[in-house]
Structure 1
Amino acid sequence: MKLLGNSGSAFTTRVKFVLELKSIEYEYIEEELRKKLKSERLLTSNPLFQRVPVLFHANEHPLIESLAIMEYLDELRPDVHPILPSNPSERAQYRVLAYTFDNLYYPWMREFVLTQDKERIEELKRLIIEGFGLLEEVFVKLSKGKPFFGGDDIGYLDIVFGSFLGWIIFDGTMFGFNMIEEARNPRLAQWVKSMWSHEVVRALIPSQETHMEFYEMLISELPPTPETVSA
């Protein structure tokens, strides 16, 4: 099994989490994400999106999209650290929550670190704070007093949300904006501590230096502004 990814990508980190939790041996291949430097391996294995992660297993078609890869690995080795609940209704609910995070919360977080529009920054802060307030309610409901969304140990939603812990810290350090604060998100703040106490999380969350390199890459790939073009 081979994993094509990028060290600064939270979506790559997700897949690493599952591979380690399930004790699956794999070869990791670091991918360059700058448009002009993307490898032929990435362009041919994921021609539509041209992004990581991509999982190669035996002679099967390359697997793309972190959520799909997570479920594939869970079904491949269901007897070792299952991450999705066995109840079909609960599994569907978890998938909706993951989809919501990836298609609503993540775009807010990404835009926040990239935009220069001060009014938009303040609007994004409000949206993110409200969003994590709702996530706090979800955690209280699903965890049932236990340390993780998955109960006593890391599960599907812990992996989906927890893969961004490094970026949450980066935003607090780089921009002075704490997405999770104990005063407004006491249960999520405890969840963060539980996540950091887990050996897999500590081992796999990228360093802040890696996050800075990834951030600088994102900035360098932004289209030129009208001011830049005129200069």
Structure 2
Amino acid sequence: MLVGEYTGIKVQEAKPLKRTKLPLLGHGVIYSELEKKVMSRSGIKAMAEGDVKILGGWPSPFVMRPRIALNIKSVGYKFLEEKVGVKSDLLIKSNPVYKKIPVLIHGDKPICESLVIVQYIDETWSSGPSILPSDAYDRATARFWAAYIDDKWVPALSGITKAQGEEAEAEAVKQLLVGTALLEEAFQKCSKGNAFFGGDSIGYLDIALGSFLGWLRVAELNGLTILNAEKTPGLVGWAENFCADSAVKEVIPETGKLAEFAKMIFAKTKAPPSTWFNK
């Protein structure tokens, strides 16, 4: 099983709304507040396309995070795909410390680390839907669990591919399931009965965990079910809602394609795909 870091995105322009002409003192058109908002968002998208770039690769859950965030904000961008196992000059220049994807390049400013990028997107394009909670406590809670996902849950997930022998693999699976049970509890508390961790729309914590759902599906193909209706009913419903969202549909990789990618990487490197996951 591979949990990797990458997909080109089709930027769809907003369709012009029907305008209502009303007499003014001079010639002109009066627009409704809704029309003004849509035109403003369209303008942001058009201007941003040449100004915003993401360095990444289509299989990466980490690269998915900023892409989903940009979709939520309706910000267009160029996706510059890195070749597997090759670090481009632009990547090294943009992220000289870690030399890892993803990198968001906004104008001439590089921003690194997936969750840092998501927060930057939320603050920079503040006119769009909020990603981080507005309440200070809820915001701190979301950051806590997002850190848990990256520091504890993700290593447990990738640890399954590194396990040597049945005992080690069983222990790795156990640790992952324990961590997933904690995330189920967190979902029940954070969602407050809504569809997502962040309420009735996708938020920061949803992006942090949801970016790995494609790879959980690959795990299922290999006989490992991590989310199930009996032990994690909340997360099962949440996963369906997350993957069905328009901000996610365009960037979440198809399961079969991910599975083939994992096989290809394993055949090329003769090492567990998790080694590329930590590119």
Q: TM-score, normalised by structure 1?
A: 0.89
How far apart, CA to CA, are the structure 2 residues paired with 1:116 and 1:210?
26
| TM-align CA RMSD | 1.7
In the alignment, is residue 28 of structure 1 matched against residue 75 of structure 2?
A: no
Matched positions, count:
220
* Partner residue in 2 for 1:227: none
* Partner residue in 1 for 2:69: 18
In the alignment, is residue 139 of structure 1 matched against residue 151 of structure 2?
A: no
Cα-to-partner distance string for 1:43-79 (whole Å, 9 max, x where unaligned): 222222221101111122x111000000000000122
* Partner residue in 2 for 1:5: 56
Q: Give the SS at the match of 2:250.
A: helix
Indicate how the Cα distance of structure 1 residues 215 and 114 shifts in structure 2: closer, same or farther if over 3 A, else same: farther
Cα-to-partner distance string for 1:139-182 (whole Å, 9 max, x where unaligned): 11111111111111111111111111100000110x20011111
In the alignment, is residue 177 of structure 1 matched against residue 224 of structure 2?
A: yes
Aligned match for 2:157, one of 109, 116, 120: 109
In the alignment, is residue 186 of structure 1 matched against residue 233 of structure 2?
A: yes
Cα-to-partner distance string for 1:1-40 (whole Å, 9 max, x where unaligned): 1100000100001111001110011100000131xx2211
* Partner residue in 1 for 2:119: 71
Q: Give the SS at the match of 1:55.
A: strand
Aligned match for 1:125, one of 167, 173, 178: 173
Aligned match for 1:80, one of 115, 128, 135: 128
* Partner residue in 2 for 1:215: 262
Q: Decide whether the 8 Å contact of 1:94 with 1:157 is kept in 2.
A: yes
How far apart, CA to CA, are the structure 1 residues paired with 2:100 and 2:261?
14
* Partner residue in 1 for 2:7: none
Q: Which is bigger in relative contact order (C-alpha 8 A, separation at least 6)?
A: 2
Indicate how the Cα distance of structure 1 residues 222 and 115 shifts in structure 2: closer, same or farther if over 3 A, else same: farther
Give the deviation of 1:190 after TM superposition: 1.0
Task: Name the amino acid aligned to 2:59.
Answer: G
Q: Decide whether the 8 Å contact of 1:33 with 1:51 is kept in 2.
A: no
Q: Mark the structure with the bigger radius of gyration.
A: 2
Give the deviation of 1:213 after TM superposition: 4.8
* Uncovered stretches (5+) of structure 2, i.e. residues with no partner: 1-51, 273-279
Give the deviation of 1:90 after TM superposition: 1.9
Q: Decide whether the 8 Å contact of 2:163 with 2:172 is kept in 1.
A: no
Indicate how the Cα distance of structure 1 residues 56 and 217 shifts in structure 2: closer, same or farther if over 3 A, else same: farther
* Partner residue in 2 for 1:44: 93
Give the deviation of 1:214 after TM superposition: 4.2
Taking every aligned residue pair, what percent have the same amino acid on both sides? 37
How far apart, CA to CA, are the structure 2 residues paired with 1:204 and 1:77?
20
Cα-to-partner distance string for 1:123-145 (whole Å, 9 max, x where unaligned): 11111111111111111111111
Segments ≥4 residues shifted beyond 6 Å: none
Cα-to-partner distance string for 1:74-117 (whole Å, 9 max, x where unaligned): 00012201110112222122111111100111011112134343
Q: Give the SS at the match of 1:205.
A: coil
How far apart, CA to CA, are the structure 2 residues paired with 1:94 and 1:51?
24
